[in-house]
Structure 1
């Protein structure tokens, strides 16, 4: 039985439009919008300043006296202190003394509009934040401060109702300078056009945009670029293929690209001398092609599916430093290495391998034969992987599960025989098809040190004996590596859930981002 194509992905934007067109009331539309913005918020970086910390202006020594030693510090140090305060608190330092009065206007300011809600009388909700009070407060701060801005985080205004302010904000930031800019439009419409002035923010190093229609880049002059941009996040953006290619071409030092819940199909050609991490999350991806990426280390496709008509091609070209790849989906993703499309009968050769990858994650429906049988083909493409993550997915359309005979007849997988030292099996349910694969690994992996099997949350405490039975079955296996340790644990993630973190996955200090999904 052939694998049934997945249903078309219904984007949040489509759902909201359908609800509105059918006369669904605000009592149902608003919660749906809240859900979308909750998802979007999970991809945004946290503001670099917090309004929760307590402040104290008492500089008096414990034994009495009134000497103000803090104000005696050099201007450079005081500006550094002020720049680490929320905008409201930074402005309040002007009342401390004449010494402090001019400092906040010359210190690189951190402006987070969510911190202005209480003083502006707004509520911390997407349906009350765009009333104008917060928007007016943002305008006052941007106009009063002479720049530059260390970070500006604007997520609480509906810019469709404030077009003049939108133009003013971008003009001021372009002139005064901003290093980190997070800009989300809410609550409606989701494809409201972002002005081309966004490309005038030449000083920006970290840019996250949410719920916008991207400008038509084909009409932009040649000089438009982000010369200092290191990190770019695009959440729920309506954009064309040419726009992504434009951004890569005009961001010469870009290191991290995150595309999250794109409103349109994604087709990405990665040509960059600087990119180190690419994430495509919760998108319909038609094609991701690593053409020439000399510094690329991480390629992550999380919930990156295909539609019912077109599969997802994942092509590997020149990427000599690529170390982490996942989650690849056998049967859904079509691998291409160089000019060779990887098929069930494809054998390993110098033209069909990606030798640099050390950590690989696969997302597999073991209950669908045509998917599971592609696992050996995928593994042969990555002969040097040392850590293998397997996420086992449930299916409501089983299609001829593989048995132990298939795996006994499978041979010649270099990474399994000679390189895999650790395997983590996520969302195990103790099914026979899963057991057959686990036995295959244990019987063939000669340098394997540890296999961690994570049962779905609640399995080990529900009285189900699947874990005990699995442990018993695997204990009798003749292991190729005598020193291999078998660990059975319960995942902290509920069935079908995930704790994938775009922030963690982009953190190059994290040794293995796939462990975040445990």
Structure 2
């Protein structure tokens, strides 16, 4: 039977380019672009200040009195207060008194261009905003304020039409200093060249870029670098393989890299002494190779696809190669049949036996996305599990196939009862998007029959399943009650997903937050 594969990832920018090439008018293109920027905005950090926050300036004691205690505070404290205000409100403090007049110019400022919009509703409808007035307002603030800037969030300017202002902004930020910089081009085209002076922002610690064409790094001056950069987010950015290599080499303390909806195919070689978390999200990925990543803890591939529907048949697939990454703890979502694993110099196949040269012992949390109704994909699960012998938490997300191509029966799983991580290490398993298919049930039984230290099996039904009136939960409990559990203390938990079928609540911010013990828990 012919092997089935998930459809190719159709990028939003490709759809928009096709709409424009077909001569579609603004009434059709603008809503699509609104959608694309909403989509892009999900990966960006939120500004640290809000223009709608409630403020109270009445500090009068009961019974009267109007003494200004606030102005009596030291300048350092007052600057701290001003730095926590939106730019417009920070500037307005200058009218309070002569004491306040110079404070806002020297306080580390937060500049969010969306908060400078004048027209009602413009912040919520950026594509219909007055781009010229926003751009002019940003220029005025950057020129007048002497810096540094604590946070600059520029997402409301059409850079293709204001390239002189774009160059000025980067020059001013380079001189005055910026710690966190969010810089998104609007509205069209999506590949406006990002000036190479972006590398002059030596003070930047967190940088998020959206809808740009990255500078040609092969032509940059030798000293170009991000010496203080900790977090880098690249959303809908057109980059070459050499650009990723350059970024990693020139960011000596970089800890987090997020590539989101890349405009080009991604082939990432990770060589970094500092990198702790890598996310490739909504991208067409040829491969990711952990060449030398001694600090890497998290590798997340969310909706990372192969280039064409028949890519695997043509031996073109997403190759995930595990080299030197001794601290790697979280990996997912790996997709058997779509991702090909390579450990050291060994490509993992169905018949590959576990050995010291074919395992990644450091991984404790693994997430797999599985098409259980596609036999040639599901049968790779045992081979994947053998690569990670020390898994303590296993997440399985069941994906529905439009064209089922054979199923695995209970006998298949019985023949793979000797997997080390299942027998001796998995303490918790979460099965996401359960629909009650026979192949899903067979896998659950396999885990219960072999997982000797399993404490919790959490089964998350697809949304609407438990309220449909067909007693799906009771049926599942009955089916599993006949299983002879390898762990007598295993607890079964049944719940319903809070997201629609096929959806996800994946958050780039959560996944990069090292205080979050297990980001995969947020996916249901």
Structure-1-length-normalised TM-score: 0.98
In the aligned structure 2, how far is the partner of 1:236 from the partner of 1:68?
Answer: 49
Matches within 5 A, 1:227-246: 227-246=227-246
Match of 1:443 among 437, 441, 449: 449
The answer to whether the 8 A contact 1:207-1:231 is kept is yes
CA distance in 2, matches of 1:5, 1:486: 32
* Match of residue 428 from structure 1: 434
Q: Could you tell me how far apart the structure 1 residues matched to 2:60 and 2:115 are?
A: 29
User: Post-superposition shift, 1:413?
Assistant: 0.6
8 Å contact kept, 2:410–2:442? yes
Instruction: Tell me the residue number matched to 1:83.
Output: 83
Q: What are the equivalent positions in structure 2 for 1:213-362 lying under 5 Å apart?
A: 213-308=213-308, 309=311, 310-362=316-368
Q: What residue is the counterpart of 1:458 in the other structure?
A: 464
- Give the secondary-structure state (helix, strand or coil) at the position aligned to 1:104: helix
Q: Is the 8 A contact 2:396 2:432 kept in 1?
A: yes
Task: Report the Cα offset of residue 58 of structure 1.
Answer: 3.0
SS class of match (2:394): strand
Answer whether contact 1:231 1:257 (CA < 8 A) is retained: yes
Q: Distance in 1 between matches of 2:27 and 2:7?
A: 28
Residue 55 (structure 1) aligned with residue 61 (structure 2): no
| Equivalent residue number for residue 514 of structure 2 | 508
Distance in 2, matches of 1:329 and 1:495, equals 18
Distance in 1 (alpha carbons) for counterparts of 2:391 and 2:34: 41
Alpha-carbon distance in structure 2 between the residues aligned to 1:327 and 1:466: 27
C-alpha distance in structure 1 between counterparts of 2:245 and 2:475, whole Å:
51
Asked whether the equivalents of residues 7 and 307 of structure 1 are also in contact (C-alpha less than 8 Å), the reply is no
Please give the alpha-carbon distance, in whole angstroms, between the structure 1 residues aligned to 2:343 and 2:3: 24
1:114 and 1:297 map into 2 onto residues whose CA distance is: 35
Deviation at 1:508, TM superposition (A): 0.4
Q: Secondary structure at the match of 1:71?
A: helix
Aligned-residue offset at 1:213: 0.7
Q: Residues 130 and 290 from structure 1, CA distance in 2 versus in 1: closer, same or farther, beyond 3 angstroms?
A: farther
Offset of 1:445 from its aligned partner? 0.2
Q: Distance in 2 between matches of 1:59 and 1:8?
A: 60
1:4 aligns with 2:10: no
Displacement after TM superposition at 1:467 (Å): 3.0
Structure 1 gaps of 5+ residues are none
Q: Which residue of 2 aligns with 1:20?
A: 20
Contact 1:449 1:485 in 2 (8 A): yes
Find the aligned partners of 2:488 and 2:159 in 1 and give their Cα distance: 63
Q: What's the CA shift for 1:130?
A: 4.8
Distance 1:290 1:196 in 2: 28
Q: Aligned pair 1:393/2:399, yes or no?
A: yes
CA distance in 2 between partners of 1:8 and 1:119 (Å)? 40
Gaps of 5+ in 2: none
| 1:99 aligned partner | 99
Superimposed CA distance per residue, residues 336-363 of structure 1 (whole angstroms, 9 cap, x where no aligned partner):
0111100001111110000011000000
Residue 210 of structure 1, CA deviation: 0.3
Whole-angstrom CA distance in 1 between matches of 2:219 and 2:39: 32
Structure 2 contact 83–108 (Cα < 8 Å) conserved = yes
Give the aligned partner of residue 416 of structure 2: 410
Residue equivalent to 1:116: 116
Please provide the CA RMSD for this pair: 1.2
What is the deviation of 1:126? 2.6
Shift of 1:241: 0.7
SS in 1 for 2:118: helix
CA distance 1:250–1:130, change in 2 (3 Å) = farther
Maintained 8 Å contact 1:355/1:384? yes
Asked whether the 8 Å contact 1:2–1:370 carries over to 2, the reply is no
Once the two structures are TM-superposed, the CA of residue 302 in structure 1 deviates from its matched residue by: 0.2
- Contact 1:428–1:454 (Cα < 8 Å) also in 2: yes
TM-aligned CA distance change 1:122 to 1:412, over 3 Å: closer
Deviation per CA, 1:190-229, whole angstroms, max 9, x where unpaired? 0011111111000000000000011100100110000000
Q: Distance in 1 between matches of 2:299 and 2:8?
A: 24
Deviation, structure 1 residue 5 = 4.0
Match of 2:181 in 1: 181
- Partners of 1:5 and 1:484 lie apart in 2 by 35
Contact 1:130 1:156 in 2 (8 A): no
1:61 CA drift (Å): 2.5
- Pair 1:190-2:216 in alignment: no
Deviation at 1:60, TM superposition (A): 2.8
Q: What is the CA distance between 1:131 and its match in structure 2? A: 2.8
Q: Report the Cα offset of residue 397 of structure 1.
A: 1.1
- Give CA deviations for 1:67-118 in whole Å, capped at 9, x if unaligned: 2111111111111111111101111111111111100000000000111113
* Displacement of 1:466: 3.4
Give the equivalent residue in structure 2 for 1:30: 30
Number of residue pairs matched?
518
Asked if the contact 2:8/2:305 (under 8 Å) is kept, the reply is no
1:123 deviates by 5.3
- Flag the 1:79–1:20 CA change in 2: closer, same or farther, 3 A: same
Q: Quick one: distance in 1 between partners of 2:243 and 2:28?
A: 34
